[in-house]
Structure 1
Amino acid sequence: MKTLIVGDRPTVERLAERLKRAGSHAEYQRIQCVLIRATLGSSAAQIAELLGWSTATVHVLHSRWSKEGDAIFELRGRGGRHHQHLSPEQEQQLLAPFVKRAEAGGMLTVAEIQQAYQEQLGKQVAPSTVYRLLDRHGWRKVVPRPRHPSSRRGGAGRL
C-alpha cells in the first residue's frame, strides 16, 4: 500500500499545533483526519467511522493533502453578496448626489434614484432593488403628510 501521509515528527508536531489553533469545527475535523493517519496509521475506513464521514471523503482529503499540503485546511468563508449589481463603493458614489440634495432639504423619489441606477447599470431593475439599496445605506422611506393632523377639514374653525 502506498503511503500518502508521512508520519515524521515535524509533520505531526505542525499538525498538532494547527489542530490547537483550528478556527472552526470543519477545519478541526480536516486536521484530525490527516493527523490520525500520520500518527496512528489508521485506515480510511477507521478514520471515516471516527469522524462520521464516508471513506471516499477521507481518501479525497488524504490525496489532496499529499498534493496541496496545509492549504486544504484554509476554508473559504460562506455568505456575502454574491449577486450584487454594484460594489458598496459604487453604491455610495451613486447615492452621493442624492445625499447632497436631501441634506439641502430637497425631496427625493425612488423613481429618480431608480433611473440613475438603471443608467449606471445599463439594464432595468425593480423598485424593490432601489429600496433594498437605500436600506443598506441606512435610508428609510419618509413621506410628507398631505396635511397636519390637527388641521380641520372644513378650513377655518367655527366659534
Structure 2
Amino acid sequence: MGRVTRVVEHLRVEEMDERLKHCTESWRLRRWQVIRCALVHPKPAAEIALELGLARQTVHNLIAAYNRHGPAALETPGRGQRQRAYLSLEQEQAVIAPFLQSSAAGQLSTVLPLKAALEEAMWVIQ
C-alpha cells in the first residue's frame, strides 16, 4: 500500500462544496473532487485516481499544486480563450470595423493595411 496523500486545508469542506456546486466545466469539477477526496478521506493517490478516473500522476500534480499555491492553482483559465491577445475583443473589433465595412461594400481587403492598423493600435495602447 502506498503513502497516504494529504492536503493542506486552505479551504473548509463547506467552502469546497460551494465551489463544486458552481463549477460548470467537468475538468474543473474533477480537480476540486480530487482535493476534496484527499481532504475528507486521505488515501493513496492511486486509489483517488482509480475512484475519479484520473492518472495517479495527475492526482499527485493537482495535490502538490494545491498544497503549494492554494485554490488559485485549481482556478486556471483553461483552454480556448483569448489568453495571448494584445488587444481586448472590443478594441480589435474597433480596429477591424472599417475593413469589414469596405469588404461588405465589395472592395478587396489586403493584409498589409490591416496589419499596420493593428500594430498602430497596439502602440497607442502601450
Runs of 4+ in 1 over 3 A off after TM superposition: 1-4, 80-84, 93-96
* Number of positions where the alignment pairs a residue of Structure 1 with one of Structure 2: 109
Contact 2:4/2:45, CA 8 A, preserved across alignment: no
Distance in 2 between the 1:14 and 1:45 partners?
Answer: 25
State the superposition RMSD in angstroms: 3.3
Change (3 A) 1:65 1:77: closer
Q: Residue 139 of structure 1 corresponds to which residue in structure 2?
A: none
More helix by share: 2
Contact 1:7/1:39, CA 8 A, preserved across alignment: no
Kindly indicate whether structure 1 or structure 2 has the higher relative contact order, using CA contacts under 8 Å at least 6 residues apart: 2
The answer on 1:89 being equivalent to 2:90 is: no
Unaligned residue ranges in structure 2 (runs of 5+): 117-126
Q: Residue 79 of structure 1 corresponds to which residue in structure 2?
A: 80
| Within-5 A mapping of 1:7-156 | 11-79=12-80, 87-95=92-100, 98=102, 102=105, 108-110=106-108, 113-114=109-110, 117-121=111-115
The answer on 1:5 being equivalent to 2:10 is: no
Distance in 1 between the 2:66 and 2:84 partners?
Answer: 32
Unaligned residue ranges in structure 1 (runs of 5+): 103-107, 123-159
Change (3 A) 1:26 1:121: same
Contact 2:4/2:43, CA 8 A, preserved across alignment: no
- The alignment-based identity, stated in percent, is 28
- TM-score w.r.t. length of structure 2: 0.67
